Structure 1
Amino acid sequence: MNSNGSRRRDVTVADVAKAAQVSKAQAARALGNYGAVSDDVRERVLAAAEELAYRPNELARSMNTGKSHTIGVVVGDIENPHFGLATRGITDTAKKDGFNVILINTDEDTAAEVDAVRVLLDKRVDGLIVAPASSVETHHLQRVHDSGRPLVLLDRKAGQLEVETMAVDMAGISYESTRYLLQAGHRRIAFISTLRTESPYRPGMLLDSSQIADRLDGMQQAFQERELPFPEDLVRLNAGDAESIRRITRDVLLRPDQATAIVASDGLIALSVVEAIQELGLAIPSDVSFLMYDDFAWTRLTSPPLTVIAQPVYNMGVAAAKALIRQIEGLPRLAPAPKFTATLVRRGSVGTQPIASHLAPISCDNQGTPAQIRDSGHA
């Protein structure tokens, strides 16, 4: 038998109306919960709908009502626990208010983000929450805003676009954490990020991500305050995958004037950095200090537990969803706007570094494998 021919036909409003012995218009009002309909008719219609396993046509409903009760969410990397936690905050909040969420991952690619926004608008989502891949190329988001479609930004700014943005003041917490490393005697501080650039980092260069730009600004402010030279050669961007992160880590630790502390810009980077440090036979913090952005359960299970910059990521997702739903429902913005603060959580991965001395360089063979480990007693 042909499987297509045997497939069960979708139950329609007309089928429900026939089973309930009411008009199609009465059934539609009862199912859609609008207009005038008696309690007796509503009960008969709902009972018939349950008996027939009726499922509403959401596309048709959205065309009739102008609302799809869906929210579009666009993030750069759903594999990154940072975005996973924020998305959980969004979906938990949306569900409570009767909204479904359509999530699209862009791999931090602006062209993919442009396409994702188009797809979500074609699906008639009621509003968008976007973590912009670029804080520079934002014309597509400006068009969404100009069209009047509800829009909220998550985690990052989008140029001069005046929309509600749920993000932490990164410059402030970066300044605080860098001061902490400087007070511990560190002068050669590396910063590793996946942000894509076409050339090596130089202070003042235009960066695609407002988050990374703010973090580097905070670091530079702390160095300038102490009248110390900023180690721009240790700012490493374009850390695309685990192997490139490990390669960068080896490079900053094996160079003649090596890093004595490393800052990882997210949890995924942190895992590969720690792995590379272990592969070199080095110990945290006696050989190299380590600090990372975001606080996840595994950071407390390492030995020693890792010093982190904890961000209220889940709460940012909740606030983004609430702000978007208020826009969808035509309500004014909350005043004052929600503010989010990150916290430096000091654990055991930052040690002191004698200011006037550096660790003895690691000698390597031609393949970059350590031939002897720093003078720390580690084999």
Structure 2
Amino acid sequence: MADSRRVTLKDIAKSLGVSVNTVSRALTGKDSVGEETRARIKAEAERLGYVPNPMARSLVLGSAMTIGLVITNPSNPFYARLISAIEHRGRAAGYSLMLLLTEESPDGDQNAAQTLLRWNVDGALVVPAVQGDGEHWARLSDAGIPLVCLNRDLADLELDYVGVDYERGAYEATRHLVASGARTVCLMEEDLPISPVADRIAGFRRALADAGLTGERVVSVPTRRLESLALPWEPADAYRLAQEIVRGDRLPDAIMVGNDYFALGVYRALTEAGLRVGEDVLVGGFGDHPFAAYLNPSLTTVALPSADIGVTAVDLLLRRMKGQDDHDRDHDRADKRRLPAELVVRASSRRGVT
């Protein structure tokens, strides 16, 4: 049976007749090893199948060379793109990624914070869970681990944040529906107590107020993330609520939804009632998920800069980890960054356009 024992620095040293210290210095890039010797050691390490032990390396370097990433649900297309951008940017800087999932659970949130502390990661990027006061994240920061909140801001805590300007995005989307002829607009939004939802509602209300329109309507859509972890949202509840809207006394001119998945339910309810999306009722979404452009009619929606958020967050975290900061602000002051979203106008909000 083949020897499955992990190859060590000692094995490489014995094979080449050099010291373990020389092998270690060669593989960690220390200048005190000649280039010819370094090349021989690297070639032998590759031949023997040597894989560095991250725990041992962290003890030598005094750093885990690891960034923690805590998110709620990886099946959300927004987070899928975010993870990819963060992993790519972190790897380019020499850091590995430790991914932890909370599934919107307060207990999962606290366990993630404890895990990151136990593994002594160099820094962490965190999408906070729905409930809880976030003190466990403050304790992680107080322990000397730099922390950047992603997509959801913990406004009561002095923590860095990189997310989307949801308020502006919702404002622009609502203003577009009004400009397209809507005088009554209904917003179907998630029932989660998180900053993106609050910001979208604020933007929606501001756009209607600026247009001099009254009689706003916000419908709260139940979120079943703890019942079914496969998808971040359920179109079924949006479908049921849209049916109630269609059967009601006042059919709105337009329906805007907090995410594109809800639009799937709205489309079905309107179509079954014999109403034409984009003609009888305008529809706007949020997220610009891959299916949005292929619905019939294609869905007007707000595209979110998920990759830019990932890159910006990693760069900010790296500066915090290195103790660097912009010259024009206090290093101890939290950096709150909201990146712009882009309204993508398609047929669902333009009467007569196919």
TM over 0.5: yes
- Contact preservation (8 Å) 1:135, 1:159: no
Please state if 1:86 is matched with 2:85. no
Please state if 1:313 is matched with 2:313. no
- What is the DSSP-based 3-state SS (H/G/I as helix, E as strand, rest coil) of the residue aligned with 2:156? coil
**Cα deviation digits, residues 205-224 of structure 1 (max 9, x gap):** xxx21111111112222333
Amino-acid identity (%): 30
- What is the DSSP-based 3-state SS (H/G/I as helix, E as strand, rest coil) of the residue aligned with 1:153? strand
Across the aligned residues of Structure 1 and Structure 2, the Cα RMSD in angstroms comes to 2.5
Equivalent position amino acid for 2:275 in 1 = L
Please state if 1:75 is matched with 2:60. no
Equivalent position amino acid for 1:239 in 2 = T
Structure 1: which 4+ aligned runs deviate by more than 4 Å?
Answer: 333-339
Aligned equivalents of 1:7, 1:254: Cα separation in 2: 71
Q: Aligned to 1:322, which of 306, 315, 319?
A: 315
Taking structure 1 as the reference length, what is the TM-score of the superposition? Answer: 0.80
Aligned equivalents of 2:131, 2:309: Cα separation in 1: 18
- What is the DSSP-based 3-state SS (H/G/I as helix, E as strand, rest coil) of the residue aligned with 1:349? helix
Any gaps of 5 or more consecutive residues in structure 2? 225-233, 330-334
Aligned equivalents of 1:161, 1:129: Cα separation in 2: 15
Question: CA 1:179 to 1:334, structure 2 compared with 1: closer, same or farther past 3 Å?
Answer: farther
- What is the DSSP-based 3-state SS (H/G/I as helix, E as strand, rest coil) of the residue aligned with 1:293? coil
- What is the DSSP-based 3-state SS (H/G/I as helix, E as strand, rest coil) of the residue aligned with 1:102? strand
Q: CA deviation at 1:191?
A: 2.2
User: Size of the alignment, in residue pairs?
Assistant: 336
Q: Aligned to 2:96, which of 97, 100, 103?
A: 100
Question: CA 1:43 to 1:239, structure 2 compared with 1: closer, same or farther past 3 Å?
Answer: closer
In terms of mean alpha carbon deviation, does 290-299 or 18-27 score higher? 290-299
Question: CA 1:334 to 1:156, structure 2 compared with 1: closer, same or farther past 3 Å?
Answer: farther
Which residue matches 1:214? 199
Taking structure 2 as the reference length, what is the TM-score of the superposition? Answer: 0.85
- What is the DSSP-based 3-state SS (H/G/I as helix, E as strand, rest coil) of the residue aligned with 2:187? strand
- What is the DSSP-based 3-state SS (H/G/I as helix, E as strand, rest coil) of the residue aligned with 1:72? strand
Please state if 1:247 is matched with 2:240. yes
Aligned equivalents of 1:226, 1:47: Cα separation in 2: 69
Q: CA deviation at 1:226?
A: 4.2
Q: CA deviation at 1:332?
A: 1.5
- What is the DSSP-based 3-state SS (H/G/I as helix, E as strand, rest coil) of the residue aligned with 2:94? coil
Question: CA 1:164 to 1:149, structure 2 compared with 1: closer, same or farther past 3 Å?
Answer: same
Aligned equivalents of 1:65, 1:276: Cα separation in 2: 59
Q: CA deviation at 1:161?
A: 2.3
**Cα deviation digits, residues 234-289 of structure 1 (max 9, x gap):** 42132333322322222222222233322221233333433444444432112321
Q: CA deviation at 1:302?
A: 2.6
Aligned equivalents of 2:105, 2:327: Cα separation in 1: 31
Which residue matches 2:134? 138
**Cα deviation digits, residues 267-317 of structure 1 (max 9, x gap):** 333334334444444321123211011224432233322211122221111
Please state if 1:158 is matched with 2:143. no
Correspondence 1:330-369 to 2 at 5 A: 330-333=323-326, 340-351=339-350
Equivalent position amino acid for 2:251 in 1 = Q
Which residue matches 2:262? 269
Equivalent position amino acid for 2:221 in 1 = L
Q: Aligned to 1:235, which of 216, 219, 236?
A: 219
Which residue matches 1:373? none
Bigger Rg over Cα: 1
Aligned equivalents of 1:177, 1:34: Cα separation in 2: 55
- What is the DSSP-based 3-state SS (H/G/I as helix, E as strand, rest coil) of the residue aligned with 1:120? helix
Q: CA deviation at 1:351?
A: 4.7
In terms of mean alpha carbon deviation, does 326-335 or 262-271 score higher? 326-335
Q: CA deviation at 1:324?
A: 1.4
Please state if 1:33 is matched with 2:29. yes
